[in-house]
Amino acid sequence: MEIFGSIERLMSSLYPYRMPLTVASLVVAALLGWLVIRRGWHRPVLGLAARRPRLAGGLTLGLFVVAIPLGYYLMSPLWTRTTLEEASPLAVAAATAAPTAGVESVGSPTVNGSEATPTTAPTEPAATLPRELARGTVEGADEFHFGSGRALLIETEPGRFILRFEDFSVRNGPDLFVYLSDDPTGYGSDVLKLGTLKATDGSFNYDIPEGTDIARYRSAVVWCDRFAVLFATAAFQ
């Protein structure tokens, strides 16, 4: 499948020039069609089809049987979009937190032998979780493989972390996965696979395995396993 990855990278480099290339391709196709008809190169093919219609029909059917599923597999992600919205641990914690700092009773002193109304004093707030550790801006690998949004590393409990995408959007593709990488520019030598891409658009979370040394990783990436192609990267700051 590496050959398909090479083809995709080539097509990605040509994507900014898609309009003039499309026009040029149509012109070349029209000229080739005119030349074939003028020279009569199509007659042997038509003659073979007329003499052996079953062979011609079988070859045509076989071509469609192979080309249509393969073309759909490779091209359908270009127009297939999915959206997922999952709650942020930070937002959930903020919504459920008490509106005021905790208070503690100072005691019940007496005044002239009578018990006074207990007074209160504010307590020092403890370090709260969840908390954001780092974030990065999602950027596409090139003009074809676009990407946007934010990637956040969040500590939900002591030693437990999640990766969260927010306002996220990326070019769809076959066999896409989300990784943490030691390379801030993309897929590196030390990566941690978090799972399949949940959606092309939205905000959603990935659990990071317990015990992971989060300091080793400097970016989140969207990567095509099948063709070894980078789609998007978010370098943590």
d(CA 156, CA 93): 10
Residue 55 falls inside a structural domain: yes
d(CA 137, CA 237): 9
Q: Which of 41, 58, 78 lies at the terminal end of a domain, its last residue?
A: 78
Q: What is the pLDDT of residue 1?
A: 52
pLDDT in tens, 53-82: 887 778 778 877 877 776 666 666 667 899
- Average pLDDT over all residues of the chain: 82
pLDDT in tens, 86-130: 999 998 888 876 554 444 444 555 555 555 555 544 444 445 889
Question: How many domains is the chain built from?
Answer: 2
108 torsion bin: left (phi>0), alpha (psi -120 to 50), beta (else): beta
d(CA 149, CA 199): 13
Residue 104 falls inside a structural domain: no
| Radius of gyration of the CA atoms of the chain, in A | 30
Same domain for 140 and 229: yes
Same domain for 227 and 160: yes
The CATH number that applies at residue 214 is: 2.60.40
pLDDT in tens, 215-236: 999 999 999 998 899 999 999 9
Q: What is the pLDDT of residue 169?
A: 97
Are residues 206 and 194 in contact, defined by beta-carbon separation less than 8 angstroms?
A: yes
Residue 120 falls inside a structural domain: no
Residue 121 falls inside a structural domain: no
Residue 112 falls inside a structural domain: no
Residue 183 has pLDDT above 90, yes or no: yes
Q: What is the pLDDT of residue 69?
A: 75
What share of the chain in percent tops pLDDT 70? 75
Across residues 164-182, what is the average pLDDT?
A: 95
Same domain for 231 and 159: yes
Are residues 137 and 233 in contact, defined by beta-carbon separation less than 8 angstroms?
A: no
Higher-confidence residue of 140 and 9: namely 140
Amino acid at 94: A
Same domain for 228 and 156: yes
Helix, strand, or coil here: 167? strand
Q: What is the pLDDT of residue 15?
A: 55
Same domain for 134 and 73: no
- Kindly state the tokens that stand for 212: 């992971």
Same domain for 58 and 133: no
Same domain for 142 and 69: no
Q: Which domain holds residue 133?
A: 83-89+128-235
Q: What is the DSSP letter of 81?
A: -
Residue 12 has pLDDT above 80, yes or no: no
Same domain for 73 and 147: no
Same domain for 210 and 142: yes
d(CA 223, CA 192): 12
Residue 111 falls inside a structural domain: no
